[in-house]
Each structure stands twice: as structure tokens, then as C-alpha cells.
Chains A and B, each alone.
Chain A
Amino acid sequence: EIVLTQSPATLSLSPGERATLSCRASQSVSRQLAWYQQKPGQAPRLLIYDASSRATGIPARFSGSGSGTDFTLTISSLEPEDFAAYYCQQRSIWPITFGLGTRLEIK
């Protein structure tokens, strides 16, 4: 099973700041990696697929990069609605796995 390690576990930032979230895979997943945002009581929302492609309707301030084992989600300038949990997910090899998440909180 591919293990995804996300860091940091919690990130405290202010609106307007830049957020950089990391996801490292225990073996290569090529570019078959997605990022999801989840707010309390809601289902996950797909932000990024294929490591760097924005899903439909996702604002341009969200960007993804990386391939192989190291991936990054960047939020260029935080809006109040961006404070939430973020999960990476690999779809390269079954079982599909998620990282444990990064909680982005308001400083």
C-alpha cells in the first residue's frame, strides 16, 4: 500500500498569506495524485487532479506541482474560505490512499 505523508499537520496563517502544503509518497505515483479540500460537515471537494490540473470551477490561486514522490499544493493568497482541511490522494495503485491531511487554520 502506498503511504502518503502530508506536512505540516497544521498550518497557521493569515488571510492574504501564501500557503504551501506538502505530500510525499512512499513510492512513485507518477502524476496520479489529487488534492481535496474538506470543510467541517461537508464532503471532500476536488481541487487538483493529475498533480497540477485545476478541477472545474477552482480558483486560480490554487496550484499543484510535483511528480513521482513529492508533491505540493500552493494557495497563493489565502481567502477566508480557504481555511479548511486538505488531503492528497493517490490513484496510481490500488488501494487508493489518502494522506492524513493538513489543517489550515487562521492565525
Chain B
Amino acid sequence: EVQLVESGGGLVQPGGSLRLSCAASGFTFTSHWMGWARQAPGKGLQWVANINQDGSDKNYVDSVKGRFTVSRDNARNSVDLQMNSLRAEDTAVYYCARSTYYAGTGTYYSVYWGQGTLVTVSS
């Protein structure tokens, strides 16, 4: 059974840092892109970052570039999101997701998601 379990969320002051972690199990971790998405309270979804199978290719949405860093440890089957210089607008539930390749259009989609971890940026 595929499982993704996020941890590391909490309350942090503006300008502070937080590191989220996602522990993966039930599948061959090294075969999949992994990503982080977030959802502000009562709002829609935003994709934040992606990382490829060996960690050599990373993508970030503009609003977090230079502040957030995605990384993975294939020995521990985990993917992390280091968040620095946090702002109030970063307050959200952060989801870890596994991407699966679909040959039809050659596109990756996220079937498996964790339950999310809440990050609150407030003084």
C-alpha cells in the first residue's frame, strides 16, 4: 500500500524557517518524481515544487523561488521541503504527492497524496 506521511509543520514567525519531511513507503521510491503542493485555508490548490528521481532536476513556482528548496534522500525514501524567509502568505496545508507517468500523453499526474501538514506563519 502506497503511503505518504508528512511531518514538520507548525507555527513559525514571519522571516523564520521550517523543514517539512515526507516519508514514503509501499512503492519503489527511486522510480518516481515527487512534489509538494499547498492549500491556504479555505482556498484552492497551488503546486509548489517538483523533484525528479535522482534529485538532479527541480522546479519551483515563482512565489517560492530562492526561499524554498526541495530535496530527497533515496536511501531513506523521503523528500523534504526546506522553507526559509517565510511569509504570512505561505500559511497553508502542505501536501506531498507522488507523480505517476501516463503514456497516453507522456504526462505525469499525482495519484497518491499525503494527508498534509499545516504551516502557520504568524507573529
A-side interface residues toward B, CB under 8 Å? 1, 30-32, 34, 36, 38, 42-44, 46, 49-50, 53, 55-56, 87, 89, 91-92, 94-101
Contact = CB atoms under 8 A, between A and B. Distances in A.
A89 B104 CA distance: 17
B44 A100 contact: yes
Nearest to B109: A49
B67 to A, nearest CB: 15
Contacts, number: 61
Contacts of A32: 105, 107
Interface string B9-26: 000000000000000000
B46 A94 contact: no
The DSSP consensus for interface residues of chain B is strand
Nearest to A87: B45
4 closest A-B pairs by beta carbon, nearest first, are A43-B113, A96-B47, A98-B45, A49-B109
Contact of B107 (A1, A49, A97): A49
Contacts of B104: 31, 49-50, 53
Contacts of A43: 95, 113-116
Contacts of B116: 43
A88 B111 CA distance: 14
A98 B95 contact: no
Contact of A49 (B46, B47, B95, B102): B102
B105 A31 contact: yes
A91 B46 contact: no
Contacts of A46: 109-111
A46 B59 CA distance: 22
Nearest to A45: B113
